[in-house]
A and B are shown apart, each in its own frame.
Chain A
Amino acid sequence: MADTSVTLCGVRLDNPVIPASGTFGYGYEFAELYDIECLGSLSFKGTTREARFGNPTPRIAECEAGMLNSVGLQNPGVEKVLSEELPRLKACFSKPIMANVSGFSVEEYAETCRRLDGEEQIGWFEVNVSCPNVHGGGMSFGTSPKAAAEVTAAVRRVTKKPILIKLSPNVTDIVSVAKACKAAGADGISLINTLLGMRIDLKTKRPVLANKTGGLSGPAVKPVALRMVYQVYEAVSVPIVGMGGVSSAEDVIEMMLAGATAVEVGAANLVDPFASKKIVESLPETMESYGISSLKEIIGAAHRG
């Protein structure tokens, strides 16, 4: 019997498959389609202290083997997440939840995590440091090891739950950011967030997205994600949640070979709402076809020998 279980920062998952934040709402929409209890966990919609509408539309554009989004963290704000979204999620999912949190200042990150910390079912915080720092000239926290470390340290002070910092790939040296986060108290690293991209409409001769730029996701980014997971695994001793273009059980295994302990599925959920479920279901036979009996044994296997 194939063993799909893994342990992420001390919390056990039946399988490493986790729908990625922003592609799975707060889970209950998908529970109308299938029993989401089959998932390893799920990372809920990026939550901020205040409610946000996000960016103007259009905020979706297609491209070869992927898509761009500039949704801009639309969410109802942490209070409504606590009072309305989480009760609905908890009614259809009993496993540890990954709480994805965003902010525009160090204080906001800490405050949002502090509000969520009392939720017993939250197994991990996944802190998205790709947002612009309003006090730092609008530059993303994740592009500076120092700023990313400040966010990590601030969140560390308000919770004892495991903290994963979700890194932006839009940097020259991902390893230095990962190292800084670990040194500041991160228990793990999630990567990659979307790659900054653009499309231009030939008819209007203007960018397709109202925000002009957006984040690229989907199969197109998978090789970049694999490379970054591999680099961080090699250089930093820290559990990694790998993501970027994962659409199949084979992709999950590939991400784990690069060094991921768990794997998130993002854009694939939008194209096929059953994608995460199908990946979970096909994992055992895919493992078997590659002679893998236990998934945790292959984590980082590509680095050996």
Chain B
Amino acid sequence: MKQTEMTVVGNRPLTETVWEMVLEGDTSPLSSPGQFVNIRLDGLYLRRPISVCDREGDRLTLVYKTVGKGTKKMTTLGIGERLDLLSGLGNGYDTALSGENPLLVGGGVGIPPLYGLCKELRREGKAVQVILGFNTEREIFYEENFRALGAEVYLATADGSRGEKGFVTDVMKRLSYTYFYTCGPMPMFFAVEKVAKTSGQFSFEERMGCGFGACMGCSCKTLYGNKRICRDGPVLKREEIVWPTRQ
């Protein structure tokens, strides 16, 4: 982890609620896709943890959904503004386990960290399949970006307005793959866990205090003891996850 200042060089909406922010500065604290940054925003006490979508040279791309005060505030940041970040947080995805034909499964705003992962896996010469799930057509983002990386992209929308009508797991069921990586909402995780045919990695979300392992705010139980989502995660391996009992 490192505290660093970065400059906003881009900030634009991709859909009605999803924005893409590009930052410039020191990206060296980041070592793997799936890590996150924790951003200090004026007027808000706690930092906001945002997953890293892409890192290229001294540029960092964050794709975020406006869900609350912090992310709404982020949409107001203009070009040239300086941001105080804790960077290089979390463990990130481990690409070494992917095999030759990994599958990436993303739902909604869980998709961004999979982009950086896809890029890395392609760089390693792997044949990547990607399933992107959205509620409806106008929420779709980054489809072309994944295709441009040379990944085989499948789309699923809950209302059938684009791609396959249904959920990511409807597509996942019929594909063959050597390993999977996923990020998305909990109901999607439950479904993925049910249909997955191989080992894989899930990236979790939790409300965090510090984002670097000090406050124990985001702990979860695993088969190998308690882990902090922010520090020992956010990525957990399928084999270690203790799924919460559903309500």
Binding site for B on A (CB under 8 A): 22-25, 29-30, 32-33, 45, 53-54, 57-67, 69, 71, 74, 208, 218-219, 267, 269-274
Contacts and interface: CB of A to CB of B under 8 A. Distances in A.
Given A33-B1, A69-B209, A274-B3, A63 B214 contact: no
B207 A59 contact: yes
Nearest to B48: A62
A103 to B, nearest CB: 18
B36 interface: no
A44 to B, nearest CB: 12
Max count, chain B CB within 10 A of own CB: residue among A30, A64, A218, A270 = A270
B217 A60 contact: yes
Interface of B: 1, 3, 40, 44-47, 86, 206-210, 212-221, 226
9 contacts: A23-B210, A53-B221, A57-B219, A58-B206, A60-B218, A74-B216, A208-B207, A270-B214, A273-B212
Contacts of B217: 57, 59-60, 69, 71
Q: Which of A29, A63, A219 has the most CB of B within 10 A?
A: A29
A218 B46 CA distance: 10
Contact of A67 (B45, B206, B218): B45
Nearest to A72: B216
A228 B242 CA distance: 43
Contacts of A271: 40, 45-47, 210
Nearest to B44: A62
A71 B210 contact: no
Contacts of B220: 57
B216 A24 contact: no
A63 B212 contact: no
Given A58-B206, A69-B209, A273-B86, A64 B214 contact: no
A199 to B, nearest CB: 11
Contact of B215 (A61, A62, A71): A71
Contact of A57 (B47, B206, B212): B206
Contacts of B212: 29, 273
Majority SS of interface residues in chain B?
loop
A45 B226 CA distance: 15
For chain A, what secondary structure do more than half of its interface residues adopt (helix, strand, loop), or is it mixed?
loop
Contacts of B206: 57-58
Given A57-B206, A59-B207, A60-B207, A22 B215 contact: yes
Q: Please provide the 10 A-B residue pairs with the shortest distance between their CB atoms, ordered closest to farther.
A: A60-B217, A270-B210, A58-B207, A60-B209, A62-B46, A74-B216, A60-B207, A270-B209, A71-B216, A270-B215
A23 B210 CA distance: 9
A74 B215 CA distance: 10
Contacts of B208: 60
A230 to B, nearest CB: 25
A25 B217 CA distance: 12
A194 B207 CA distance: 19
Given A60-B208, A64-B45, A67-B46, A29 B214 contact: yes
B226 A53 contact: yes
A64 B46 CA distance: 10
Contacts of B214: 23-25, 29-30, 269-270, 273
A61 B221 CA distance: 20
Contacts of A269: 210, 214
Given A53-B226, A271-B45, A271-B46, 6 more contacts: A53-B219, A53-B221, A58-B206, A60-B46, A60-B217, A270-B46
B215 A69 contact: yes
Given A74-B226, A270-B214, A67 B209 contact: yes
Contact of B219 (A30, A54, A218): A54
